[in-house]
Amino acid sequence: PTLRSEIAAAVASARRHRARLWVNDHWRLAAECGAYGVHLGQEDLAEQEGGPKAFGEMLRRSTTLRLGVSTHAPAELGVALALRPSYVAVGPIFGTSSKRIRFGARGLDMVRAWRSFVPRDTPLVAIGGISLANAASVARAGADAIAVISALPPTSDEDIVEAGALGGPAALSALRRDVDRWRTEVPWPPCHHEHSHVVGVPRSVVEGSTRSSVVDAASAVSSSSEGADDDDDDDDD
């Protein structure tokens, strides 16, 4: 299948499960296929025609996509805030083996610092090396949400395909229970926005390697706690 067909299938799956699908990098395809939002890194923003500011204005004017932005340093936070994103991601907070990155662990002090600059109505999402054992400290530092990959089983496309596409309801039920634990056992601060405190599926963004069955499984997990409808009045999520 092509990347377009995979994203289109993922969007359809997310809608069935009333989940919000964020597509990584491929904002044109995300817009064309009707995805909820797109996540871009700093390098992706810098490569857009006219630069980050012009891109952000174009995105709001020409699409319905919400925008999430990665940050790792103060200058990058300035770029992100100028775009009025739906959320600001910060990390890696701790060491991570989920992907190769050129930044070392940023630590909880960065979460605290970011919280003082990011508007309260803009979710601050912490990512990188977060587990149930350290999530409470991340929440206390000021994060509104966390993004996790390896902390939630299953941890590979093959495992999810087996659980979601080959009739593994028990595996999906276990994954839902894990997500519920994150929501109930971590002392999250009061919400100043409508978005859920946990962003946690093994493949939370659609990439070239993601299969539709993977997204079916991930969307099913998201639907277990995503009670909000799809008619959002916020600028972006």
pTM of the full predicted structure?
Answer: 0.76
119/114 Cα distance (integer angstroms):
10
Determine the longest span between alpha carbons in the chain, in angstroms: 49
* Strand ranges of the sheet holding 37-40, from the earlier edge strand across to the other edge: 198-200, 145-148, 124-127, 87-90, 66-71, 37-40, 22-24, 205-206
Average pLDDT, the chain: 76
pLDDT tens track for 13-59: 889 888 888 999 999 999 999 999 999 999 999 999 899 999 999 99
Q: Report the amino acid identity of residue 7.
A: I
DSSP secondary structure letter of residue 22: E
Residue 198: closest CA among 158, 152, 231: 152
- Annotate 170-183 with b (16+ C-beta within 10 A) or e (fewer): ebbeebbebbeebe
Distance between CA 201 and CA 54 in Å, rounded?
32
Half-sphere exposure of residue 87, counting CA atoms within 13 Å on the CB side? 25
- Cα of first residue to Cα of last residue in the chain, in angstroms, is 29
Whether 177 has a pLDDT exceeding 70, the answer reads yes
- Check pLDDT > 80 for residue 174: no
Residue the block writes with tokens 């630069």: 51
Beta bridge partners of 202: none
The per-residue pLDDT for range 70-80, each reduced to its tens digit, is 999 999 999 99
At 225, the pLDDT band (50, 70, 90 cuts) reads very low
pLDDT in tens, 85-136: 999 999 999 987 777 777 788 999 999 999 999 999 999 999 998 888 898 8
